[in-house]
Structure 1
Amino acid sequence: MTYERGTGAGAPGGDGCLVAAVRLPVRVVAFVVVLPLRLLWDALCAVARGIGIALEWIWRNVFAPPLNLLGRGLAALWRYVLAPVGRVLFVVPAVWIWHYLISPVLAAVAVAVVFLVRYLLVWPAVALWRYVLAPVGRAVGWVLRILLVVPLVFLWQWVVMPVARAIGAAVAWAWHAAGYVSRAIGRGVARTFRVLVAIPVAWVWRWTGAPVLRGLRAAGRWVRREILHPVAQAVREARRGVRTALFGAPAPRERASHLPGGGYVAPQDYPPGEAPWSRHQVPPAQNPYAQPQVPNPYAAPPGGNAPAAPAPGPYTTGPYAPGPSKPEPVRNPYARPPQEG
């Protein structure tokens, strides 16, 4: 039986029957063993990429700017302060001492040492190697080559390498196949999660959660507007009534805006049925810009009907029409009752 050496690492001519018998079981076992490892490797690669991106961002935006600034400061300190001072204080004296003191002494010592080493060590060692050790080494090397190296080379070339190539090819094929399976499993898990979890949750939220939330929000606004605000208003009114019943109504203070400096005038006694002037109004008697009140000739007299309005004319319509009648005054609840006697 003859063996032909292949031309390359993957040449099929140098495999033989042993590799053909080992290839298929090794591929099956490698696929079964490598698939979980490939899944774990893909997961670790994804986590490592995320961690790497986060660490790179932290380094670029947190640590790199201050370290860069510190490095520039240290470089400037070394270049403009430490280097000139060190050159003047240490380098120049050290060069002078080396050139004029140490170098001549070392040269003399080196010449003496070289002479002694050459005649006491080198020449005897060369003679020993040339006439004793080299012949013995060549003999031992020939014996080891014949008895050990040639069998090991033959075993490595025709047994170990073909089997290793078959196992490597099987592991590589299993690794790539496991990658395809891993990506298919990932896509299936993502699609299953989208169909079974994401879409139902989105549908439930859109048609159940969001309307219920909007209804609760509208109900809360209605309760606040229709119940809480009226109850609070009733409580304020009751508290105001109780305070009025217990301590009496507070005396109103009217601001006289027409007075110089703006002050308050003392409250006055108003007749029943007439309201006091507000703080933003000025009584007609004190307002120099107030227009005189013109009586309405068409107002109904007390206890009778109003006279018929005249026919439309130039003085009954348009800008010359008389103004409306004065409305009845509003009773002031805070007015003081008239004092008797």
Structure 2
Amino acid sequence: MDLEKSPPPQQQNPEGCLVVAIRIPVRIVVLVLVVPVRMVWDGLVVAGRFLNDTVFRPLGRALLWVGRAVFVWPFVGLWRYVVVPLGKGLAWLGNVFVVVPCVWLYRYVLTPVGHAIAWVARGIGAGLEWIYVRLLTPLGHGIMWVLTPIGQAIAWCVNGLVWVVRITVTGIGTALYWTARILIVLPALGLWRYILVPVGQVLAVIGREIGEALGHAWRVAGRISRAVGRFLGTLLRWIFVEPVRWVYRSVLTPVGHAVRDVVLRPAAEAARAVGRVARQALESARESVRRARADVRQMLFGRPPEPEEVVRREPAGAETRTLGSSTTALTKD
């Protein structure tokens, strides 16, 4: 079995000896480890599908129907026939007893009061504006004319202090920057460039090969699992199904036909003959009972009177009327 998957022609890249040396052992080890897992996985998949088709899906449908009957339909009925009419009634009551009075109160009470308060506030604002423009503004200009030289002196002192602090902080920051660059950044950069990057590349190659080996081994294990499954199915068919089929065709079917022809059919014919004899005997017994009842009735009550012969107005036999005879009422002499 070829354990090395050849890439497509358009993806062929030159690979080093390290990659080739890592690939074959990794794929062999991964294949040995993955085959049992894939077989167990396929078995679990088959069992899960069987349970899903025979147990979980019918159970889920039954539970879904029960859930609808127990939870959904009662709540739908409650919402449709109780909550919605009750909500409409409460909305109508709220509109009548809350919204309409509030609208009336806002329109005819609060709006006039608000207009009055706004008129008073505008008057107070006009007075405060006159005080600000006519009194406070000239007073503020006079105070600013007195305090401007003092403010400029204070601002110059503050700017000088800020310049000194900025120069000091800049020097300290520059010194700390170069100290940190020499003691931390350059060693860390060398560690990253000359140690971590090569090690990472090697680990990336190993991880890539392990991933490709896992995929390849999973596919190969799937084929092996399918082959084992077919073998076990064939073995089960030859060990159990075919013998049972052969016994059914070669032994049970002829025995059944023989039992049917030798035992069941004669037994059925005999049963039907016995039934016919029993029915005939029953009919004879019924006839004997009817005759005995008739004899007893005759002994007790006598023979019933013979029915009188009714004279028929129509001629019988040879005297039957014909169109050519003169025995009709119109041609009779």
When normalised by structure 2's length, the TM-score is 0.45
Higher RCO (Cα < 8 Å, 6 or more apart)? 2
> Between Structure 1 and Structure 2, whose CA radius of gyration is higher?
2
The structure richer in helix per residue is: 2
